[in-house]
Amino acid sequence: MAIEAYNEMNARYEFIQNQKKDLAEAKASLMATIQAIDDTAKEKFMTAFTLVRENFIKVFRSLFNEQDSCDLILTDPQRPLESDIDIIAKPKGKRPLSINQLSGGEKTLTATAILFSLYLLKPAPFCIFDEVDAPLDDTNIDKFNNIIREFSSQSQFIIVSHNKRTIASTDVIYGVTMVEQGISRVVPVDLRELAD
């Protein structure tokens, strides 16, 4: 009976060893796959980050001045996929320690620069802005409208605005009016036809 018990236990041991070997191989394969995915993701992220950073500097300076400094910085460059991204924006004459120290208009233009730097990475067929120009003064509204005009050759922009300067710089205006209580009506005006 001892030989039978031994053979039975030996067969069970060999079965468990084979299972353990399969699990170890599966784990090694999974770890290699995870590493390959991480390497690919890191490479793609760093390529995209570099392009967005370059675009951000270019767009930021077109919205502010050529002498102004800005940057996007990874807080942990060794682990870019887990790292935070610091936005540095220093308009001429200001040296803010954080983006929160900028004025409302400067924050809006900085956010617009980031949006357009992402847009340049992968342009969309249309973009929607909802009252982005509200905190801007007249000079900055003109800068915002100029950049919209510049990019409108590649995309269509839908802008919700109450600002007369923004409205005047568009091609088509859609006004919403209330003819009678509770009944709204859309009134389109094509400024391109009026210009001809």
Whether residue 105 contacts residue 136, with contact meaning beta carbons closer than 8 Å, is answered with yes
Domains in the chain, number = 2
Domain identity same for 117 and 196: no
Q: Which domain holds residue 174?
A: 123-196
Three-state SS annotation for 154-169: CCEEEEECCCHHHHHC
Domain identity same for 154 and 81: no
Which residue in the block uniquely carries the two structure tokens 């900055």? Answer: 140
**Cα–Cα distance for residue pair 75/59, rounded to 1 Å:** 22
Whether residue 49 contacts residue 80, with contact meaning beta carbons closer than 8 Å, is answered with yes
CATH of the domain at 76: 3.40.50.300
Tokens of 57: 């500097």
Q: Which domain-ending residue is among 62, 89, 121?
A: 121
pLDDT in tens, 31-86: 999 999 999 999 999 999 999 999 999 999 888 888 888 899 999 989 998 999 98
Which pTM does this prediction carry? 0.75
Domain identity same for 103 and 67: yes
How far does Cα 196 stand from its chain's mean position? 38
Q: Which domain-ending residue is among 101, 121, 141?
A: 121
